[in-house]
A and B are shown apart, each in its own frame.
Chain A
């Protein structure tokens, strides 16, 4: 459906909005040193020489983000698009928690989550590329896997 649309002015504006926000996001990750996995591991190491930096970063990010979510409650539609695409599912199910736990283990193993890994690709450490390639492979494996084992019966009832 979206592909059928021509490259109208709104499409171009939305593309630019995505690029611009990606740039700002990446700049924030670099400025806050979140693109350095050693920094992230130091935050996750609460039993060692704990580095609180990630907590400050998260706090700094949540303020503008929360304000924006309050503002859009009063907006009928986003400025450049027809409708908001905000997830409405509120059910905490087994799939969500299993996914979170698997992600957290990978995060703790090396110190990379998706944003910093992508933003850090340009800084010449081949390790980042190995991680990013494996991350894409993991996403692909998820897309071709039968996930019914992760869906609990209880969750299905709540749904």
Chain B
């Protein structure tokens, strides 16, 4: 896959960081997507109000639509089979709740304040991701993954 223009990648990243910064300055909240989703769905009973969490979650696709409309239509390529999608979703849902966060909460917010938990969590899920893709694409499971 042709890497994205680094300037565009940095700009997109900056938007994500600005979103996290604004939410922190205005409402004092961590912009963690897994936590927001669980709260909005009524699965988690702590965190922001369900209204706030729901508003944040609804905002995500709206922002994606804005970029798709005015900047660049995205090319989403998912080659995974249904069982693989279901297994991955279950693992991501369960794992992010057990580990108290995902790429946004631990990666963007937690690492920014040098939280030891977030640094450890990010290293762990990145490592697990590298390992799994390595095994699926270059090891024994070649051809199972996308």
Contact = CB atoms under 8 A, between A and B. Distances in A.
Interface of A: 2-3, 11, 13-39, 41-42, 44-49, 51-53, 56-69, 71-72, 75, 77-81, 83-87, 89-92, 95-115, 117-123, 125, 127-128, 130-143, 147, 150
Interface string B131-143: 1111011100000
B76 A41 contact: no
9 contacts: A14-B48, A28-B14, A52-B6, A64-B17, A113-B104, A133-B89, A134-B87, A138-B95, A139-B93
Given A19-B56, A32-B8, A110-B85, A104 B128 contact: yes
Contacts, number: 516
What are the 10 A-B residue pairs with the smallest beta carbon separation, nearest first? A22-B59, A138-B93, A99-B99, A60-B13, A134-B89, A32-B12, A104-B128, A26-B63, A106-B91, A103-B95
Interface in B111-141: 111-113, 115-117, 120-134, 136-138
Given A60-B9, A98-B99, A29 B14 contact: no
Interface string B69-85: 00110111111101011
Contacts of B137: 45, 47-48
Residue among B4, B13, B76 having the largest count of chain A Cβ atoms under 10 Å: B13
Contacts of A130: 82, 85-86, 89
A139 B35 CA distance: 10
B37 A136 contact: yes
Contact of A19 (B21, B59, B89, B90): B59
Contacts of A85: 28-30, 47-48
B98 A79 contact: no
A142 B21 contact: no
A45 B134 contact: yes
A71 to B, nearest CB: 7
A80 to B, nearest CB: 5
B94 A32 contact: no
A24 B22 contact: yes
Between A11, A20, A32, the greatest number of chain B beta carbons within 10 A of the residue's beta carbon is seen for: A32
Contacts of A59: 10, 13
Nearest to B35: A114
B27 A105 contact: no
Contact of A100 (B22, B75, B95): B95
Given A27-B67, A31-B67, A39-B1, A150 B80 contact: no
Contact of B61 (A79, A114, A119): A119
Contacts of A150: 98
Given A46-B134, A65-B109, A100-B128, A23 B13 contact: no
B43 A119 contact: no
